[in-house]
Structures are given as structure tokens and as C-alpha cells.
Amino acid sequence: MKTIIILAVTLLFPLYIFSQAGPKLEVIGGENIDAGSHTRGQPVHYEIKFKNTGDADLQILSVSTSCGCSTALATSDTIKPGDEGSINFTFNGNGFGPVAKNVFINTNEAPNNVHTLLVGMNMTDPLTLDPASIMTQGKVGDEIKQTATLQNSLDKEVTISEVSSNSPVVKVSADKTTIGAGDKASFDISIKIYEDSPVNAAVIIKTSEGEYQIPILVDIKSN
């Protein structure tokens, strides 16, 4: 009986060694990657690190992405056993909210030689208005007061060059002309109703990061 067990182990051991042989790509942190939050419209650069946990040279035959808005490039074509490599991933930043892109890595592994990585990002506006629009009601003769804020999510100061409206019935003023990193500016908005027709206007805020608008719609109530 002991002889049979020893023989079985002896026969299976080469198969185990064979199954473990060869190169093996292992993405550090897993193949579902959280690349964090980034400013919309700005390129996203992320380094994907991996390791060859096999016992033979790992060959990176090709790296590609799921769309033309992103690219990926391996820093080395050959990774020795136990060594690490990386792939430089770039996304052009043209998206809003949660965005996911695939990275495909083709290697000399057998039998599964293609790795599909999922890179997730959250794209946010550099400046955020609150509220994004003003919709309210009023009667002729009313003066409606509203307050809005502009939040700066960048890591640098933003300059406000001009604050105005496109209607004489809407007046607006800002509490500051420079918004620090992580800070916000406040805007006092006054809407005067002179006649029995809806007010359709906008507040216009010009900044060093572009122009932002707050649409305003006021329905007129009967007396």
C-alpha cells in the first residue's frame, strides 16, 4: 500500500511542477483598479504596477486600451522572475462622473495569455456651482433674493474676472475675486419683477478656468 502511495506522489509531482512552470503576470493590487478622482478635461496619468511571479521570463507582447481616448505603454518588454514592471496608462479626461476603461495585456503566458484590466476614475468639474440653476415664482413688484456659490476643487487659486447678468432685472455681486484651493465664492443675486411676464435670464461668471452660467427662470404668479 505504501509503495502505491509513493508511486502516485512520484507520478503527480512532475505534473505539479509543470503546472507551476513558466511566466506569470500578477497585477499589484488586483486587475480592478481605482485610479481616484481627477479634474474633468485634464489628462489622467496612472502607473499600473505588476510582478512576474513565475519562474521564467515574462514577455509583454502588446498593450492596448478599449478606446482612442486612452493609451497604455509598458515600460519594459521583458520581466525577469521576481521582478516588477509597470504600464503607463493615460486618459484624455473627456468624461464626467464615473468613467471606466479597459487595458488589455498580451503576454507569453500559457494557456491564458491575455489580461483584461478595468481602470475606474471619477471625473469632476474644476469649479462647481450650487445651485446649478434658479427656478422660482414671484409677483409683479417682488424682489427675489437668492444666493449661489462656486466651489474650487483645484489645487490652485482661481481668479474671478467678471460677474454680470444678461438682464437688467437681475443684479449680482460676489464676496471675493479670488477663490483659494478648496475654497468657494458666494454670490448675492437679486431678481426684480417689473412686469407680468416670466423672467428668463442668466448670471455669468468669468474665471481664469473658463465661463460659468447660472440660468434663471421666474414664473409670474397672479395677485
The residue among 21 and 162 whose pLDDT is bigger is: 162
pLDDT band at 96 (very low <50, low <70, confident <90, very high): confident
Whether residue 14 is found in the same domain as residue 63: yes
Stretch 80-108: mean pLDDT: 95
SS3 content of the chain, % helix, strand, coil (to 5): 10, 55, 35
The residue among 18 and 201 whose pLDDT is bigger is: 201
Instruction: Print the domain residue range for 158.
Output: 127-220
- Given this model, what pLDDT does residue 93 score? 92
- Whole-model pTM? 0.64
Nearest to 117 by CA among 30, 25, 52, 23: 30
Q: Which of 124, 144, 163 is a domain's end point?
A: 124
Q: Is the pLDDT of residue 152 over 60?
A: yes
- Given this model, what pLDDT does residue 80 score? 97
Q: Rounded to whole angstroms, what are the CA distances from 107 to 33, 39, 49, 65, 116?
A: 19, 33, 15, 15, 12
Whether residue 113 is found in the same domain as residue 14: yes
Residue found under cell 499589484: 28
Whether residue 11 is found in the same domain as residue 103: yes
**∠ Cα 74 79 84 (to 5°):** 80
Query: Which residues on adjacent β-strands are paired with residue 53?
Result: none
What is the distance of C-alpha 24 from the center of its chain?
30
pLDDT band at 16 (very low <50, low <70, confident <90, very high): very low
Whether residue 106 is found in the same domain as residue 134: no
Whether residue 71 is found in the same domain as residue 30: yes
Whether residue 144 is found in the same domain as residue 78: no
Residue type (1 letter), 146: Q
Whether residue 118 is found in the same domain as residue 162: no
Q: Is the pLDDT of residue 66 over 70?
A: yes
DSSP 221: P
Stretch 190-201: mean pLDDT: 96
Whether residue 67 is found in the same domain as residue 119: yes
Which range is least confidently modeled, 1-5, 39-43, 97-101, 152-156? 1-5
Q: What is the CATH number of the domain that holds 48?
A: 2.60.40.10
- Given this model, what pLDDT does residue 20 score? 55
Domain count, the chain: 2
Q: Is the pLDDT of residue 11 over 60?
A: no
Whether residue 101 is found in the same domain as residue 183: no
